[in-house]
Chain A
Amino acid sequence: MELFVFVVAAAMVLGGAVGVILRSHPVHAALSLVLTLFGVAVLFVAQEANFLAAVQVIVYSGAIVVLFLFVIMLLGVDKVEDLKIEPFKIQRPAAVAVGAGLLSLISLAILVSRDATPPTVVPSDAVQAALDGSHDSNIRAIARDVFGDHVLAFELTSVLLVIAVVATVLLARKPRKGEKT
């Protein structure tokens, strides 16, 4: 069963990702991105990260992709991009070669270190609770970690979000007449 879920979700993830980089229409690319993000959410559920799967669907598929689509339609750039144009002749083969090299390096590192890390000795709260079969404990364990050990980082992210919102408003507004940008 887990194998079946993994294969289907992996096909969603990779198919969507390939769609993002191959579709010439920006709206199609954004919708392929939704497919990838849903696949990642399924993989999160398969790994007992229920809270993160919900956040993934709400924040990524809900907010971020909608923001992308909004910008695409606001700017009217929903035109088909001509993928034939290639400013540097060698760029695409070089990019694919670099990608293949990077993939083989990372895969090699993963396969070499496969047995290096010791298996879990003491399961933490979340894993233990997942083994016990209670479902809300994932959220509880994350909350204990975020608001316990990482509470300063959590507060700093709220500062970051405020700064980002103010910066975006400043960037996106039209300058008033006679005002230097």
Chain B
Amino acid sequence: MTAAVAVTTTWYLLLAAMLFVIGVVGVMVRRNPLILFMCIELMLNAVNLTFVALARRMGDIGGQSTVFFVMVVAAAEVVVGLGIIVAILRRKPGATTDDLSELKG
């Protein structure tokens, strides 16, 4: 094992970029609204990873407190989003995003 290879911030940033792109592709490809929400969570986590990596690189704790706020807002977003999904799917069971292309219920 090569102990000389150091894990730098760039590695974390590239990993976060990959995670973000997987989330983006998931949002564009999948049709189940719940899976779309999970992909949005993936993107938020990628951004959190970027924040933490740069907070460490800069030696600034502000990045970590930003991640804290992102987590709180993500929790609120999931609660409201799942409420909307429950309301929609109760009206149209088994609906995919294609069935939801118009606002008229």
Question: Which of A's residues lie within 8 Å of B, judged by CB?
Answer: 2-4, 6, 10, 13-14, 17-18, 20-21, 26, 29-30, 33, 36-37, 40, 43-44, 46-49, 51-52, 55-56, 59-60, 63-64, 67-68, 71-72, 74-77, 79, 81, 85, 87, 91-92, 94-96, 98-100, 102-103, 106-107, 110-111, 114, 117, 119-127, 138, 141-142, 144-146, 149-150, 153-154, 157, 160-161, 163-165, 167-168, 171-172
CA distance A160 to B73 in the complex (A): 8
**In the complex, residue of chain A having the shortest beta-carbon distance to the beta carbon of B2:** A3
- Judge whether A150 and B41 touch: CB under 8 Å: no
CA distance A16 to B45 in the complex (A): 12
CA distance A21 to B29 in the complex (A): 8
Interchain nearest-CB distance for A106 vs B (Å): 4
CA distance A114 to B56 in the complex (A): 14
Residues of chain B contacted by A123 (CB below 8 angstroms): 59
User: A-B pairs with CB below 8 Å: how many?
Assistant: 227
- Judge whether B15 and A13 touch: CB under 8 Å: yes
Task: Assess whether B103 is interfacial by the CB under 8 Å rule.
Answer: no
Question: Which of B's residues lie within 8 Å of A, judged by CB?
Answer: 1-3, 5-7, 10-15, 17-26, 28-32, 34-35, 37-39, 41-42, 45, 48-49, 52-53, 55-62, 64-65, 67-69, 71-80, 82-87, 89-90, 93-94, 96, 98
- Judge whether B86 and A68 touch: CB under 8 Å: no
Given contacts A64-B74, A165-B79, are A75 and B18 in contact (CB under 8 A)? Answer: no
Interchain nearest-CB distance for A61 vs B (Å): 11
Given contacts A29-B38, A71-B34, are A37 and B52 in contact (CB under 8 A)? Answer: no
Interchain nearest-CB distance for A63 vs B (Å): 7
Residues of chain A contacted by B45 (CB below 8 angstroms): 36-37, 40, 60
- Judge whether A14 and B22 touch: CB under 8 Å: yes
Residues of chain B contacted by A126 (CB below 8 angstroms): 61, 64
Residues of chain A contacted by B31 (CB below 8 angstroms): 81, 85, 87
Residues of chain B contacted by A29 (CB below 8 angstroms): 34-35, 38
